[in-house]
Every structure is written in structure tokens, then in C-alpha cells.
Amino acid sequence: MKYLAFLAALAALAASGNALAVGSIANVTIIDRDSGAVLSTHYFRGEYWVAGKPGDRYAIEIRNRSGERLLAVTSVDGVNVLSGATAAWDQPGYVFESRQRYEITGWRKTHTEVAAFTFTDLANSYAARTGRPDNVGVIGVAVFRERPPERAYLPPQIAPAPSAREQAAAEAGLGNQARAGTPAPPTSAAADAAATAPAARLGTGHGEREYSYVADTEFLRMQSEPNEVIRIRYDSLDNLVAMGILRRPRPSAPGLNPFPASPGRAFVPDPPG
């Protein structure tokens, strides 16, 4: 069976897990692409949450912690990030080599482009603009282990040439499976928390086009249902504070000098030059 593979930058994965990451077989973190910071995860009533800032670009970083290839079917706001279809387990996903990591930076548009993920208001989110607002505010990764390859001829695949920035890139890819599934519904506690949030919820927009290269590969799933499902919810800082998920940081008092007109203590200066 033919699949698409994505050229993803390789990086060594530390033996210890990332404290901000979610998942066991694979680790998932959300990256603020404008600052480069990993968004902190907050565990609240059975759900993991991150606070996004409207207008910022973000990426979903997935790290394969296992010693084998994995397939990661990835969705944002209930929409498959590769096909744009309403997300289900049997749809395309990224294939990761052992210990590989990759940042998914946007909605797949072509073999060479994505539209960047951007935090935006719910009404301007891609899911809402395509008539599917019900699951705005959740990122999902369904992880599948690979079945040992069968002895069968597989035709050669075509991989676009990487850019100069991606000379060190390595393969990852898309998979398909016969049986569909749906993500588990949110817990009642999480649903109650979401209901207490202000009306202006955060979603993911369809941002500017960016280069991202793809190639072909093969992947056969070990089973029809995921070996692991990772779910991270997100909203604005104001909404997370309103729901009681986190507390707003208190500003620290400015330092005061009781003798502002007195010079500081002087010591021996360095010689000239």
C-alpha cells in the first residue's frame, strides 16, 4: 500500500522524557514558533492544557521514543492536518523513524507547502470556516506501531528534493488503514470546565504558506486501533485562568533603594587598556 512520507529534521532524543511533553510511546509538545519556547502543559481534571497567544504561530512537535517506526495520525480542532478531512484514526499521518522528531508547522497544502498553524479566535479558525466548529481547541495524535514487513514487491517512490535548509532531513510519512475510529469524547469534568470559559475561545487559523517537503514511503499498521492516543487542549491565557486551570502570575514588586542619592560602594577599577 502506498503512502506519503514527510522529510523531517532528525534530532537525538534524550533518554529522559520532557517534563512539558505528553505521551508515552511518543512525546508531543507545542512550540511557540515566534519565541521558540515550549508551551507549558497544565494537567486539569484528566486533561492536558496549554495557553496560546492570539496571532502567534505554533508547531506540534512529535518525538518517537521507541526503537521502531511509528505512525502518528495528527489532528487539530477535529480536522486531519494532512488531508483536511474530519479526523478519524484510519486517515493519513506522519511516519517517524526510531528516535526521530519532527515539528508539524501547518496544514498540508502540497508536496512542498503548508499553511502555518496560528492561534486565532474561534470564528476565524480553519475548522469553523469549513463548518466544523464543534471540536475547536484540541490537538490529537493517534500513534500506531508498525507490522513487520511482508515479502512483497513495493514500487519505488518519488521524493521531492530537499531544500538547502533540509539537506539533513530524513523520511517520515502518511499511512492508511481499513477501519475508522473516533477520538474519545471529552470527560464531563473537562466539558464543564470549557463551559465556564468566556465566549471568545481560541482556535487554529489557516496561516501563510511555508515550504515543507514530502516524499513517499510504506507503512503497515500492527492493528486497526491506535496503540496510544495523545490529546492536548488549548485556549487563551485569560480563558484558562477563568476556568481555574492556572493562576495568573503575580507581578513582582519593583526593587526600591532606601538611599537613592548615595553612590554605590566602589572597588579597585581595572587598569586602562
Instruction: Specify the pLDDT at position 85.
Output: 96
pLDDT at 175 over 70: no
Give the per-residue pLDDT at 197: 52
Please check the confidence at residue 214 and state whether its pLDDT lies above 80. Answer: no
Contacts of 117 (CB under 8 A, 6+ apart): 57, 58, 59, 60, 76, 104, 105, 106, 107, 204, 205, 207
CA distance 181 to 90: 7
- Out of 29-43, 194-208, 213-227, least confident range: 194-208
Task: Summarize the confidence of residues 124-144 as an average pLDDT.
Answer: 97
Q: What percent of the chain has pLDDT over 90?
A: 59
Reported as a pLDDT band with limits 50, 70 and 90, residue 215 is confident
Domains of the chain, residue spans: 3-242
For residues 32-39, give the mean pLDDT. Answer: 95
Stated pTM of the model: 0.71
pLDDT at 193: 52
CA torsion angle 122 8 50 117 (round to 10): -20
CB 175 within 8 A of CB 95: yes
Residue 207: CA count within 13 A, CB half-sphere: 21
Mean pLDDT of the chain: 79
**What one-character-per-residue DSSP string does 73-93 give?**
EEEETTEETTT-SBP-TTS--
Q: With a cut of 50, say whether residue 142 has pLDDT above it.
A: yes
Q: What is the mean pLDDT of residues 117-124?
A: 97
Give the highest mean pLDDT range of 4-8, 177-181, 229-233, 256-260: 229-233
- Assess whether pLDDT exceeds 50 at residue 180: no
Q: Tell me, what's the pLDDT at 76?
A: 98
Q: For residues 204 and 77, give the distance between their C-alpha atoms in angstroms, rounded to a whole number.
A: 7
In this model, does residue 7 exceed pLDDT 80? no
